[in-house]
Amino acid sequence: MNNIFRGWLLDLYEDANDGVRLWFISEDGERVCVRQPMPITFYAAGEAEQLRALWKMLRKQAGVLSLSREIKRDVFLIDPLPVLQATIDNPLRQTRLFREVQRLFPHLTYYDSDISATTRHSAQFGTFPMAFCELEIDESSTIQTIRVLNSRWDLAPVHPVFRILTIEPDCDPGRGSPKTLRLRHQQRQKSLPLDRPEDLIMRLNELLEQIDPDFILTQWGDNWVIPTLLKLAKQVGVNLHLNRDVQREVHWQKELTYFSYGQIVYRAEEAHLFGRCHIDQHNAMMWRDYGLDGVLESARVTAQSIERAARVSPGSGISAMQMLTALENQILVPWHKQQVEEFKTGVDLIQRDRGGLIYQPIVGLHANVGQIDFVSMYPAIIIKGNISPEVPLPNGIAPASEELGVVPLTLKPLYEKRVALKLNQAQNAKENPLSKRDKARSSALKWLLVVCFGFLGYKNARFGRIEAHEAVTNGGREVLLRAKETAEAMGFEVLHLYVDALWLKKSGATNKKDFQEVLDEISRQTGLGVSLDGVYRWVAFLPSRLDSRVPVANRYFGVFQDGSLKVRGIEARRRDTPAWVVETQTKMLNTLSEAMDVDALPEKISAAFEVFRRALKNLREGRVPIEKLVITSLITRELESYRAPTPAARAAMQMFQQTGKRVRPGQKMRFLYTRGEQGVSPWEVTELLDPARLDKKKYIELLARAASSVLYPFGIGNNELKQWGHSATIELSLNYERQGNHVRSFRDHVRTGRVESHVGIRGSSG
Amino acid sequence: MRSELALPLPNELMVVFGPHAGTAMMLDLAARLALRGPLCILDCGNRSNMYRVARTLRPLTTDPAAMLKNIRLSRAFTCYQVLSLLEKLQPRAGVPVLILDLLSTFMDESVQVEESVLLFEKTLRGIDNACQFAPVVVSAKPLLSISSPRLALLTQLKRQASQVWEELSLLPAVPVETQPPLFDETWR
């Protein structure tokens, strides 16, 4: 007798016997596990003799359901492709078998061979995490039919009520020895001591059974909480039931150090669960940016498992989406990209391989400036210009072919959903409870869109091609130039262009409606959506620190008419700036932002300086909490490889010597500047650091540098502030007359030579 | 005194080894070769900075753009692409081949070590084949410790080379001694 029920898909994974197992949260709140056989098909192409040998090998293997010769479409080839099609009974067996196949037949070209079960299931049945499904299951809980009742592109998705358990130690295990574990579920909290392992494991098992959480959210779960709990459970000889699927052990994904976009990245070991999701908030790439709502949205649109969507980069999300699009459209997914760049001349390379367009800013302080942004410019160009590796590429943004390629086909619904969500956000009041959730979801979509352009040039992108990557920046430059010409024709002065944004001013244009006409015209001329980021009461474009005659792109701060600040390229935006410096610089900016217009600014300079002075006084008198002085910096190589160790490397070496803990390339190192030969102390071993050891001179210099970014437009430089910071005795003239002159001189300052340049790396190897 | 990488280059494999894969030297060499005729660059580390080549050419020729057209180049971002490029190359007699930062893509941690080794062996065979027709200069850089399982590839490359130049031991490149002809040879 078959049973029908409806519920939300929470988890899906491969199983050696069942094919795949799926966990649902049913409409009435039950957590249900069902199974589904899932044969997997992959393809091989190449020389007939090799294919014959492969066929002979495969037909002897267990689990091979069928072998046949088919004609398929490789989008990178003009002619249809004869392939050997192999269907295997189970995803796990297919993975094992394919490993053997590619070892024995390395000269063949393979397709659809390494696609995750979630992506395949999504392509076949339209599922995705939180898909609301109607299922018909038999007595052995095997799915007979499955029907998805909602869509990845729903603007207001409905979720079930989740059961969430959070687990965290009482201190950072990197800095100290935790004594208890803190658990939280709904409004209830519990502390479980770690020194009674048997009690701890028993109690934890009871709680896991009572709560039966869908999500276990941890702090340091991957590298400390779960390994520690499993170790203790083993010690006391009791099984810890972290998985909902009781037949499974915790699955460990190995730690990884790799290069991405020229930077070394470290991904810690990951603990994956079955039937429920574990997310270590310290090891989830974008958690701080968009939290669980964003993770769920990312999993939904990319159709990756929730645990995976939480941990991998947005680039992996885009890759999964492209594979899904390909499968849905019967396009073969190559195992390895083999297509190479067409040979070009040196001149061609110079002409084509450029990044986004930049017009350097006119340095100084400007009043009543409008900032116009293109809405997701590069994704919009990819869609509008139909830029995809397998289709003819446009010169500009007019498409060279009609049928959408894999990349625009993938991006179009994503782009439209993001635009619609942004519209919703603009309409909803900030206090609306849905507003926060929509913001997180919109942020998740934003990151997917942000990386989609870079991904076209990424070395391992199955549907990437460097010429397509270049075509996007070419389109971007074209569009920005058209926008500039349009604005200038309408009497606006262009102060700065930066890839997808323009800063404009015009005599008499002082509020939003004064910019509406130019917005509409730019949109009409370019065919792309533009929005007014805001009108600045005033904005300061800063010059280079090394040479004040040289402007620097995207280094500015300003205040919009609603009083909100916008800051780019200065210390408060840098991740390696200590919190104390960030806070002080932000307070100084907030003080300046109280000026209602540029003429009122001089009145605020003394107050901003006072913020700086007070911060220094607090430092000298030891009133700055030590954790606010911590600097976080990346370790880029093995410690022994540093010839001239950076402060972070010196701190890491000390930590290794003192504790035996090694910082891997791609990991971050936290440290303090201290007096003495080394000049630094690792934060992880500074529990008992004597505050008298802090190198206050160094911190004064850091703060003076940050303060000078804020006060530079008013004629107060880094050297003056540094001197003042060290002595606090020299006279620092802050009289209004002088600042008044400065403001005027900045407003009317002589323009430096206009420099056009291009941002972005040459090519992109990921 | 002439640089050791004096022109014309012999039809053999030469390896330039140094920080940044000897890029400055390779690009200067590309400029000097471009003055003499066609050459081919396979860029395996995103190092083909043609602005630099153009700057080098500027004092040496009245038409740097024409000289840049003597360069045919393609970039590979994966070791699979390196191999495909070599297969596509069709080396021609007297057309030198410069391969920039060859090992870079073979260090990709997403490719299994055995796979890298296999592909590299095929690549070396492709290079060997190209050497029958034209000079091949390959550049490589010291490997990072995270690439230690693949260190053998560098040894293999050096072993196959007829000449290996550690960048530090090379003499500074000497500018072309004579001004290039104002007109091409058909005018003589």
**pLDDT tens, A624-659?**
999 999 999 998 888 887 888 999 999 999 988 888
Take residue A704 and report the two structure tokens written for it: 């003076």
Q: Please count the other Cβ atoms lying within 10 Å of the Cβ belonging to residue B149.
A: 13
Best of B26, B50, B51 to disrupt the A interface (most A CBs within 10 Å) is B50
Contact yes or no for A475/A456 (Cβ under 8 A): no
Nearest to A453 by CA among A382, A358, A553, A543: A382
Least confident of A72-76, A110-114, A230-234, B183-187: B183-187
More confident of the two residues A670 and A765: A670
Nearest to A378 by CA among A350, A423, A411, A418: A411
Nearest to A168 by CA among A218, A133, A99, A213: A218
Query: Which residues of chain B does A261 touch, with a Cβ-Cβ cutoff of 8 Å?
Result: none
Best of A109, A264, A336, A349 to disrupt the B interface (most B CBs within 10 Å) is A349
Which one of 3.40.50.2300, 3.30.565.10, 1.10.275.10, 3.30.420.10 gives the CATH number of domain A164-314?
Answer: 3.30.420.10
More confident of the two residues A485 and A639: A485
Least confident of A62-76, A245-259, A648-662: A245-259
What are the domain boundaries of chain A? 164-314, 350-569, 574-734
The pLDDT of residue B178? 44
By Cβ distance, the residue of B51, B72, B78 closest to A343 is B72
Residue A236 and residue A256: Cα distance in Å, rounded?
31
The pLDDT of residue A740? 41
Take residue A376 and report the two structure tokens written for it: 């997701």
Do B54 and A349 lie within an 8 Å CB cutoff?
A: no
A314 Cβ contact list (under 8 Å, min separation 6): A285, A286, A298, A447, A448, A450, A451
Residue A304 and residue A324: Cα distance in Å, rounded?
10
Q: Please count the other Cβ atoms lying within 10 Å of the Cβ belonging to residue A569.
A: 16
By Cβ distance, the residue of B71, B80, B110 closest to A345 is B71
Do A340 and B146 lie within an 8 Å CB cutoff?
A: no
Q: Please count the other Cβ atoms lying within 10 Å of the Cβ belonging to residue A424.
A: 17
pLDDT in tens, B83-94: 989 988 888 888
Query: Which residues of chain A does B54 touch, with a Cβ-Cβ cutoff of 8 Å?
Result: 346, 350
H-only helix segments in A527-600: 579-593
**Per-residue CA distances from A671 to A35, A677, A694, B64 (Å):** 50, 15, 11, 51
Sorting pLDDT into bands at 50, 70 and 90, what band is A750? very low
Query: Which residues of chain A does B76 touch, with a Cβ-Cβ cutoff of 8 Å?
Result: 340-341
pLDDT in tens, A519-555: 999 999 999 999 999 999 999 999 998 888 899 999 9
Whether chain A has a CB inside 8 Å of the CB on B78: the answer is: yes
Sorting pLDDT into bands at 50, 70 and 90, what band is A761? very low
The pLDDT of residue A687? 65
Take residue A162 and report the two structure tokens written for it: 């989740």
Q: What H or E segment, with its residue span, contains residue A705?
A: helix A696-711
Q: What is the DSSP string of A502-533?
A: EEEE-TT--SHHHHHHHHHHHHHHH-S-EEEE
pLDDT at A354 over 70: yes
Do you find a cis peptide bond into B91, omega within 30 degrees of 0?
A: no
Q: What domains does chain B contain, in order, with CATH numbers?
A: 13-175 (3.40.50.300)
Contact yes or no for A519/A532 (Cβ under 8 A): yes
Residue owning tokens 């040196």: A346
Residue A627: exposed, middle, or buried by beta-carbon count in 10 A (0-12, 13-18, 19+)? Answer: middle
Do A343 and B65 lie within an 8 Å CB cutoff?
A: no
Residue A3 and residue A1: Cα distance in Å, rounded?
7
The pLDDT of residue A9? 98
By Cβ distance, the residue of A106, A258, A347 closest to B65 is A347
Largest CA distance in chain B: 57
When pLDDT is averaged across residues A33-57 and rounded to a whole number, the result is 96
Sorting pLDDT into bands at 50, 70 and 90, what band is A87? very high
pLDDT in tens, A400-430: 998 899 999 999 999 999 999 988 877 776 6
Residue A526 and residue A544: Cα distance in Å, rounded?
32
When pLDDT is averaged across residues A672-700 and rounded to a whole number, the result is 86
When pLDDT is averaged across residues A472-482 and rounded to a whole number, the result is 96
Residue A384 and residue A399: Cα distance in Å, rounded?
7
Do B145 and A341 lie within an 8 Å CB cutoff?
A: no
Sorting pLDDT into bands at 50, 70 and 90, what band is A724? confident
Query: Which residues of chain A does B40 touch, with a Cβ-Cβ cutoff of 8 Å?
Result: 343
Quick check: helix, strand or coil at residue A246? Answer: coil
pLDDT in tens, A124-144: 999 999 999 999 999 999 999
The pLDDT of residue B177? 44
Residue B74 and residue A388: Cα distance in Å, rounded?
19
Least confident of A155-159, A456-460, A744-748, B129-133: A744-748
Nearest to A281 by CA among A214, A368, A216, A357: A216
Take residue A487 and report the two structure tokens written for it: 């604005």
pLDDT in tens, A279-308: 999 888 888 888 999 999 999 999 999 999
pLDDT in tens, A152-185: 999 999 999 999 999 999 988 877 789 999 999 9
Q: What is the DSSP string of A201-243?
A: HHHHHHHHHHH--SEEEESSIIIIIHHHHHHHHHHHT------
Average pLDDT, chain A: 89
% of residues, chain B, pLDDT over 70: 84
When pLDDT is averaged across residues A105-121 and rounded to a whole number, the result is 94
More confident of the two residues B177 and B42: B42
In the CATH scheme, what architecture does the domain A350-569 have? Alpha-Beta Complex (3.90)
More confident of the two residues A712 and A127: A127
Residue B76 and residue B113: Cα distance in Å, rounded?
19
The pLDDT of residue A406? 94
Least confident of A382-386, A482-486, A623-627, A731-735: A731-735
Contact yes or no for B170/B25 (Cβ under 8 A): yes
Residue A725 and residue A699: Cα distance in Å, rounded?
10
Sorting pLDDT into bands at 50, 70 and 90, what band is A68? very high
When pLDDT is averaged across residues B122-142 and rounded to a whole number, the result is 93
Do B77 and A466 lie within an 8 Å CB cutoff?
A: yes
More confident of the two residues A759 and B39: B39
**A574-734 — its CATH code?**
1.10.132.60
pLDDT at A757 over 50: no
% of residues, chain A, pLDDT over 90: 69
The pLDDT of residue A531? 93
The pLDDT of residue A729? 62
Query: What is the count of residue pairs from A and B with beta carbons less than 8 Å apart?
Result: 98
Pairing state between β B71-75 and B39-43: parallel
The C-alpha angle with vertex A635 and arms to A633 and A641, in degrees rounded to 5, equals 145
The pLDDT of residue A763? 34
Whether chain A has a CB inside 8 Å of the CB on B53: the answer is: yes
Average pLDDT, chain B: 84
Residue owning tokens 């990557």: A469
When pLDDT is averaged across residues A599-606 and rounded to a whole number, the result is 85
B107 Cβ contact list (under 8 Å, min separation 6): B116, B143, B144, B147, B150
Starting from the edge strand earliest in sequence, which strands make up the sheet with A631-634, in order? A631-634, A668-673, A680-682
The pLDDT of residue A748? 35
More confident of the two residues A235 and A638: A235
Nearest to B73 by CA among B45, B40, B46: B40
pLDDT at A563 over 70: yes
